[in-house]
Amino acid sequence: MSTVEHSEADRGACFAAAPQLPDVHPPQRIRGRFASFAFQHPTIVVGAVLLVLVMGCAAFAPLLGTVDPGAVSPARRTRVPSEAYWFGTDMLGRDVYSRVLYGARVSLIVGLSVAILSSVIGVFIGLVAGFVRPLDAIIMRATDAMMSIPSILLAIALMALSRGSVQNVILAITVAEIPRVTRLVRGVVLSLREQPYVEAAVAAGARTPKIIRQCILPNTLAPITVQATYICASAMITEAILSFIGAGTPTSIPSWGNIMAEGRAIWQVKPYIVFFPAVFLSITVLAVNLLGDGLRDALDPRSAKRI
């Protein structure tokens, strides 16, 4: 049978005569499927395209007409954007365009690392809380305490303890984000444990590791993926904030936050030094958030209806 839309009359005839059934999954051209996916989840596509563009900027920064982002040239200080300096130059004569492009690397690395690290650690602690009942109360009180310290403040406090470096920024933000994942996973585990198929697995004599692997983990994947994208977005904002107030990425490595911090003193006369990293940061975070919203709608239709 062809994939052409059947008319009502055709369907009626099918019922009456019960001829050969149509293919359950009619073969489709790839392009058609992609187009329908893009139509159903436009936010995923827009988010992914924007993100790929920013990733391209970060990965191919040396090929995109940049110069050494740390190259100081006092003679060419605070030039306005022009053909030679697309985004102008800063107070030390460094090329803002090159700095912004290289700065994308820090944001993306921090965002991705925090999302992955906090998800992995959070899943582990969440599983422990969900399965080892005596530890549950302790872990939950600890997450309560951690979550009652506003996360930016917690990251600031941790950064105050350590030297400013990209690794430490990643660690500080990860610690602040872990409790959220832990609570999410624990909630999922507790509700799954009551499901008949998990009870059946227990009754059939399956050992806990096997139950975790086969019944629990696959079901946490969707909410964790969605949560991880939001964590990635908020980690990029937190990194920028930390660098902006001088407690994050060291000034030797350009990051959107510290480029803005350096432009802060003269932003009223030369707003472009603050403007360009701000635009890049906002677009990147927006892309990740759109991706997250789209994934949430696609993976968890129930919550999509609610919010």
Residues that bind another protein (CB under 8 A): 141-142, 144-154, 156-157, 159-161, 233, 237, 240-241, 244-247, 260, 264, 267-268, 271, 274-275, 278, 281-282, 285-286, 289-290, 293, 306-307
Nearest approach in angstroms of CB 54 to another protein is 13
Minimum separation from the CB atom of position 265 to another protein (A):
11
Nearer to another protein, 198 or 262 (CB): 262
* 179 or 223: CB nearest another protein: 179
Nearest approach in angstroms of CB 11 to another protein is 30
Look-up: residue for tokens 């690794």?
A: 167
Nearer to another protein, 55 or 152 (CB): 152
**Smallest separation, CB 16 to another protein (Å):** 39
Between 134 and 205, whose beta carbon lies closer to another protein?
A: 134
Q: Shortest distance, CB of residue 33 to another protein, whole angstroms?
A: 26
CB nearer to another protein: pick between 84 and 153 = 153
Do residues 68 and 98 touch, judged by C-beta distance below 8 A? Answer: yes
* CA dihedral over 101, 107, 113, 115, signed as positive or negative: negative
**For another protein, the closer CB: 100 or 281:** 281
Closest listed residue to residue 55, CA positions, set 232, 248, 275, 261: 232
Closest approach of Cβ 214 to another protein, in Å?
34
